[in-house]
Structure 1
């Protein structure tokens, strides 16, 4: 079999963020570098969905907020509850945001912000719920898993067990529990009746009557007494039919008991739940599946997976402690509501009262929206702090990178309408402005998935490339302090490259000021690569270098200007071994598409 290798190279950047804070007289200078991106698929894992406020706990605990990650390391202490000589409960406003992800829903304090107080235990289901009637907390279910692992389950019994697992009739994986309280974070799982932490920590976890009790090394007990089913989903697949997936569960911290017997009680209010509709397109080509005939040798045909996701929420209402109480005042928000039109809540104020019910501290929150006209995403504009003397109010104001259009919460079900899905995202889920995408499947040659299929090769058409401008919409740009000093934050994309050969595009007379590479390759037979790229400014005397390796197969390379669909390059070569060529052209600013085709060989 003949083999064709074409090497086509340009520069590809991705949306993981680094930041640059530039402050003159009123500020300081700091720089940071972000982590590299990972792949984000066309759908979400329904078992990991939690409400935006519980999700915010996860972000601050699991994402290091320091200058090594490229994320804004900013936290504003609001007030502190003194319980005894050892225990302090801080109430902190914290920011964590690496870019605009349409699927992420702003918390009760706005996009990227959260008030860190209290605690949660979030159960992420791996397979079935461990506490369900078919979960691993049942001795019979554990014994079957043990028999499978030790090899005593054989023959028809082994086949039947695997079938039961595949059909999700019986559990085979330990659920993961994510623990967060008072600045401490860890994850654990139940191995029978024993709790095992992912990271060793001097904590004791007990579970009884659907209540978690965590005891720390000093003897303080933290009781998580309210369980809320954070999410669940109905999914209708053209091939798989209707299924229900129970989502994550959240236990909320409801009481703290000191060794001396002092108690702190946390009271929650149930916020309106919301529903997300999602229609995902998939392409299929294969064998007979559940009554549907999919010929092995057929073109990829699209089908749809439709899901309804239900997410419940609870918000702090009050904290009572021996020295007084905290009151959390809520207000309606316009970007999130239930299917029957009940608006979700935002945090409007926190009032700290002493034992005589006198206000000794107050925090007031003012909001806007990323797009003021559509009121699409809640944004925190300012927070004001005052003590017993309300005339001495200090205000922190926040400014964000502006958007040029709305990005509403995709699929939100409202009375009489549903927000449209948002397919304008890159591979990590960051917004890239490609509103013409009709799904999230990128155009690619998928023939390697089914080597027996010569017709099902190219499918999809979504542009999933990152865009640094669109993805920073709504990110924190400026913090203005009470003394009118400020921090200004600038973001840039993280870049990576992988050299596999070269077709280079650069300005011939000034390679330092304009040089772009995007690494692509075509290897083997019946292979095609189609890729879009954009020039933000015109390039005079652009030099396009082409490098093809082949053993006699004709290879076609095209570069097309998208504005008028004319070809800048359109050449077919049949080299004996290797062929190189250089073209000099002028390229106006705008969008382009390159295409490399290698024909089938026998």
Structure 2
């Protein structure tokens, strides 16, 4: 019996015939041909003692039980608290290519406006992949994409570029491309550098990206091993107009789907076919915005509320078929969705064996069973869009096998039962997750000011605004609405997931304030007699010291009553020594109206201030009325503080526990609990909304929004990371110890290096226009130095790296608490290399922008404010690479003391490939391995040891340039204490048609000359080895069948020249029989052909091993050189069921059941 301790599923392998044994039970993947170049890795890891290099293993070995035994095992990204929940569906194999198909679940929680994929809400299909294009500004390729716009010369061309970029006719920033396909993840940009368009990667990936055809028509990616990914199937979106100046929608590629994978040998491929469907995304409210401005000198303001809900038309791609060698996988879908209009629901996935006789055999069938989340009461309207908002597609179960079959496998899914709010409602927190906001608005309570500038007296009128009442706090319970809570497996066992809101504990120092104020009032006369002031009023006061430190927030309030027109009423004033502005009564024709100013101020602890006021006016009718001006300074003076411990919540979920049950006992057989500390809050919740200010005429307007007005780059990162995470492990109720993960937190800080520039004529003098200090310093300072448009230093390539892992064993319990002892730890150290950045442009209007005025040419004239139309700045996008430089392993004694330390250091070449690995043990003995890759070789003498020939160098040049197979090891060397022990080199041969394969593997000991060890004599047209031998040994010849996919014969002591003599009479008939193997009868024909080959006199001195297969499942028989055959039988789910001998005796049987 084999027991998987960490898994729910226990696999019983029962021997049925004890006099005959199976020699090997290896991984199921070994049934198929291992990627030929992975064998090269085996050769490069030459033993330190320089032992004989062995021939590659190209033929299959005995299969074992399927990997489906691993139910209940889920990896956790402890840095983020995310669980990798995945249900494997099938693994596509096409020669040396392999593509796992699965459905994956996003464990971070359901966002309010999240649209369900065609698999179901929270789920996605992993099959192939795509490049997602995040359009910035307008799509790349529509307008000219400039480099950084800093230090722009003031001329017509530059002026009109800024004007057109602001209106949406020109591009001002590069789009972002996010690649996630075939196991490759990267983020890249097309930027212009020195006038040339080039690709840059966020993490400096060593992959090659090129456009196919016209810009952005298609994209081709070549990864480091030479595998080519072609993205030719594009998703087209009709984008909403980017501004009020453009009335039409633009078409843009918003996704590039994987069309084909081409193996390094250029023969093996996987092809993806899609069906297309145009659909309209149902509009939902995603943000609110209010614009405040002065409509008249009286200082009133208008409110304009905006709902950003533009409908987007998308020509979408849906995966229809994956075609591979000997088969294809069909994806069947239906247009019957109730939550999205004209979008597909994935119904079935079917795998077919495509025979040479055009008879498609069903190998595997997967069915998805759906229902719908109910997201509120059904609307009375029959409008589909309104009905769709209260539904979301829900994956209830997944069945492998025919739905009516008794032996089908069923995965069932359960979810949190809380009702999800309707999409587009206001019940969402700051991060977009579900909360309990009961207001219609998304804007939280916000206080800010606008103002009007008066040129003549050179003063400002301030108006304080308070708006918004939304609750945008994260709700720890509501956030779990609809989240996956349980998976039940076909065998009866199940896994329960417990999630909790992202959170952290803070100690808040809450001030104890004493409200204080100082006030004066100056009074005028009751009639016009004398029209004089009754005296100037002033008051000087001192602010007490602040025990908490820092400035004290205060408020200046000034109120002028109305006054009769004429005389000196307009000369009345009030001022505060902390501000330069002199505040005066507003003017009018007959009556000076009452005027009020409310201005926020900062007071310095210990500072001395003066308020002053004087009233010159007289009363309006009746004459008995007495005008006045009142000036008040109020503030909260801190007297100390109290400390309050509070839990703060952040949008998104983290895993709290994973519990595995066997379906029999109510006690979980495996439990993993997670606790988190040392948080790194990246996307901090704001206390209010986002404020953006801009100038219109002589007023400062403001836009208050629930979402950022400027991109700050934070969206590229998670909202929170955790620096220390503890994983506790229990099995059958017993404490199995714990692991403590420590990560390196990377702070996200404001970038204060670039405050932006005003684009103005060099001759334009602010001082002549309107007092430079006042105009620039007061109004434009509020536009430019606004915290809400502050840039952040975002370096995603630095985040998420493990610093230390500690392993503890449980000892005992002390005072009710578990006690642990440290067993071992791993410490990791990194270097960040090749850091750089490029600029992303942001353009905002300052005045009333209009295109270049050639007719009157006003620029530079003092009073013409067209000379200061724009403000612009750049935000840096940071690039770099973080590399592991050392790993330290420490093993501790039974008391958790006296560590034994092993240090491993790592070095890399210019493509970030591992070039040197050095390990030093606790006794100071050092072992080192050096690896040389194609790009490390620049000439014939580049490699240590025997020089390359010109022919060999020519092949290496092709490998690294044309084929871009830059991660293939050409030569490896092993050292002990810097003394060379051995050297190994692989020489390649160009076979034409871009097929470059190993020809000779050479080795040497110490400083000796390299000697031939392994020789690849011959390959077929598909790059499969036909004849391989040791340099001084006999040859092994392989016959490849099943459409050149699998070896059907391994003939030892046999050469290619001998094979030519029997090619037509024996080899070709056997190959043809394998290509036609679609049934038991046809497989028996193949065995007959192989027996004829084995028994022919031409092979009398050879040892022949033969193989048969179900090509998309596994090997079905192996006949050894003595003619003894072992048979392998698979169940309906392609798992190894039993093994039989030639007489039909069952040698072993596998049972897949859950047991405690």
Question: TM-score normalised to the size of structure 1?
Answer: 0.63
Partner of 2:174: 174
Q: Does 1:277 align with 2:279?
A: no
Deviation string, structure 1 residues 519-566 (Cα, Å, up to 9, x no partner)? xx9943279xxxxxxxxxxxxxxxxxxxxx999xxxxxxxxxxxxxxx
Contact 1:299 1:455 in 2 (8 A): no
Partner of 1:308: 310
Partner of 1:508: none
Partner of 1:233: 240
Return the alpha-carbon distance in structure 1 between the equivalents of residues 353 and 636 of structure 2.
87
For structure 2, the residue ranges without an aligned partner over 5 or more in a row are 1-5, 10-74, 379-389, 454-459, 514-550, 558-604, 608-633, 643-1156
Report the CA distance shift for 1:245/1:272 in structure 2 as closer, same or farther (over 3 A).
closer
Return the alpha-carbon distance in structure 1 between the equivalents of residues 241 and 253 of structure 2.
14
Return the alpha-carbon distance in structure 1 between the equivalents of residues 251 and 606 of structure 2.
53
Report the CA distance shift for 1:388/1:439 in structure 2 as closer, same or farther (over 3 A).
closer
Deviation string, structure 1 residues 112-155 (Cα, Å, up to 9, x no partner)? 111101121222222222222x232xxxxx4xx47x55x57334
Contact 1:300 1:459 in 2 (8 A): no
Q: Which of 417, 437, 440 is the aligned partner of 2:439?
A: 437
Deviation string, structure 1 residues 423-481 (Cα, Å, up to 9, x no partner)? 111111111132x3212111222238999664442111212222122221100111112
Report the CA distance shift for 1:115/1:202 in structure 2 as closer, same or farther (over 3 A).
same
Q: Which of 251, 258, 262 is the aligned partner of 1:253?
A: 258
Return the alpha-carbon distance in structure 2 between the equivalents of residues 450 and 68 of structure 1.
49
Secondary structure in 2 matching 1:268? strand
Contact 2:187 2:202 in 1 (8 A): yes
Q: Which of 70, 75, 97 is the aligned partner of 2:86?
A: 75
Partner of 2:421: 407
Question: TM-score normalised to the size of structure 2?
Answer: 0.34
Deviation string, structure 1 residues 311-339 (Cα, Å, up to 9, x no partner)? 4222101111122000001124534333x
Report the CA distance shift for 1:368/1:307 in structure 2 as closer, same or farther (over 3 A).
closer
Q: Does 1:95 align with 2:102?
A: no
Report the CA distance shift for 1:245/1:299 in structure 2 as closer, same or farther (over 3 A).
farther
Return the alpha-carbon distance in structure 2 between the equivalents of residues 318 and 236 of structure 1.
40
Contact 1:348 1:366 in 2 (8 A): yes
Q: Does 1:194 align with 2:198?
A: yes
Q: Does 1:352 align with 2:351?
A: yes
Q: Which of 117, 122, 144 is the aligned partner of 1:107?
A: 117
Report the CA distance shift for 1:199/1:162 in structure 2 as closer, same or farther (over 3 A).
same
Secondary structure in 2 matching 1:474? coil
Deviation string, structure 1 residues 396-427 (Cα, Å, up to 9, x no partner)? 111000123x53433xxxxxxxxxxx111111
Contact 2:329 2:351 in 1 (8 A): yes
Contact 1:233 1:247 in 2 (8 A): no
Report the CA distance shift for 1:522/1:389 in structure 2 as closer, same or farther (over 3 A).
farther
Secondary structure in 2 matching 1:202? coil
Contact 2:168 2:246 in 1 (8 A): no
Shift of 1:267: 0.8
Return the alpha-carbon distance in structure 2 between the equivalents of residues 326 and 214 of structure 1.
24
Partner of 1:20: none
Contact 2:282 2:340 in 1 (8 A): no
Shift of 1:167: 1.9
Shift of 1:172: 2.5
Secondary structure in 1 matching 2:165? helix
Return the alpha-carbon distance in structure 2 between the equivalents of residues 165 and 360 of structure 1.
56
Return the alpha-carbon distance in structure 2 between the equivalents of residues 114 and 215 of structure 1.
25
Secondary structure in 1 matching 2:211? strand
Q: Which of 264, 270, 273 is the aligned partner of 1:267?
A: 273
Contact 1:267 1:317 in 2 (8 A): yes
Q: Which of 133, 137, 144 is the aligned partner of 1:135?
A: 144
Return the alpha-carbon distance in structure 2 between the equivalents of residues 501 and 215 of structure 1.
57
Q: Does 1:484 align with 2:492?
A: yes
Which of 1 and 2 has higher RCO (CA within 8 Å, sep 6+)? 1
Superposed, which structure 2 residues align to 1:522-541 within 5 Å? 523-525=553-555
Return the alpha-carbon distance in structure 1 between the equivalents of residues 238 and 499 of structure 2.
34
Contact 1:122 1:248 in 2 (8 A): no
Partner of 1:213: 220
Partner of 1:324: 327
Q: Does 1:397 align with 2:403?
A: no
Shift of 1:349: 1.1
Contact 2:445 2:467 in 1 (8 A): yes
Secondary structure in 1 matching 2:477? helix
Return the alpha-carbon distance in structure 2 between the equivalents of residues 155 and 276 of structure 1.
44
Return the alpha-carbon distance in structure 2 between the equivalents of residues 430 and 495 of structure 1.
17
Deviation string, structure 1 residues 571-593 (Cα, Å, up to 9, x no partner)? xxx999556999xxxxxxxxxxx
Partner of 2:456: none
Shift of 1:363: 1.4
Contact 1:281 1:305 in 2 (8 A): yes
**Greater shift in the superposed pair: 203-212 or 273-282:** 273-282
Partner of 1:160: 160
Contact 2:131 2:178 in 1 (8 A): yes
Shift of 1:294: 6.9
Contact 1:447 1:456 in 2 (8 A): yes
For structure 1, the residue ranges without an aligned partner over 5 or more in a row are 1-23, 28-63, 137-141, 288-292, 411-421, 505-520, 528-548, 552-573, 583-602
Partner of 1:52: none
Report the CA distance shift for 1:243/1:459 in structure 2 as closer, same or farther (over 3 A).
farther
Return the alpha-carbon distance in structure 2 between the equivalents of residues 167 and 575 of structure 1.
44
Shift of 1:485: 1.8
Secondary structure in 2 matching 1:395? strand
Contact 1:176 1:188 in 2 (8 A): yes
Deviation string, structure 1 residues 482-504 (Cα, Å, up to 9, x no partner)? 22222222222213436242579
Secondary structure in 1 matching 2:436? coil
Report the CA distance shift for 1:500/1:186 in structure 2 as closer, same or farther (over 3 A).
same
Report the CA distance shift for 1:323/1:526 in structure 2 as closer, same or farther (over 3 A).
farther
Deviation string, structure 1 residues 251-286 (Cα, Å, up to 9, x no partner)? 111122232323322111123412333455422223
Superposed, which structure 2 residues align to 1:512-591 within 5 Å? 523-525=553-555
Return the alpha-carbon distance in structure 1 between the equivalents of residues 133 and 278 of structure 2.
21
Return the alpha-carbon distance in structure 1 between the equivalents of residues 555 and 302 of structure 2.
18
Report the CA distance shift for 1:230/1:97 in structure 2 as closer, same or farther (over 3 A).
farther
Partner of 1:497: 506
Partner of 1:51: none
Q: Which of 95, 113, 116 is the aligned partner of 2:126?
A: 116
Superposed, which structure 2 residues align to 1:14-29 within 5 Å? none
* Greater gyration radius: 2
What root-mean-square deviation, in Å, do the aligned CA atoms of Structure 1 and Structure 2 show? Answer: 3.8
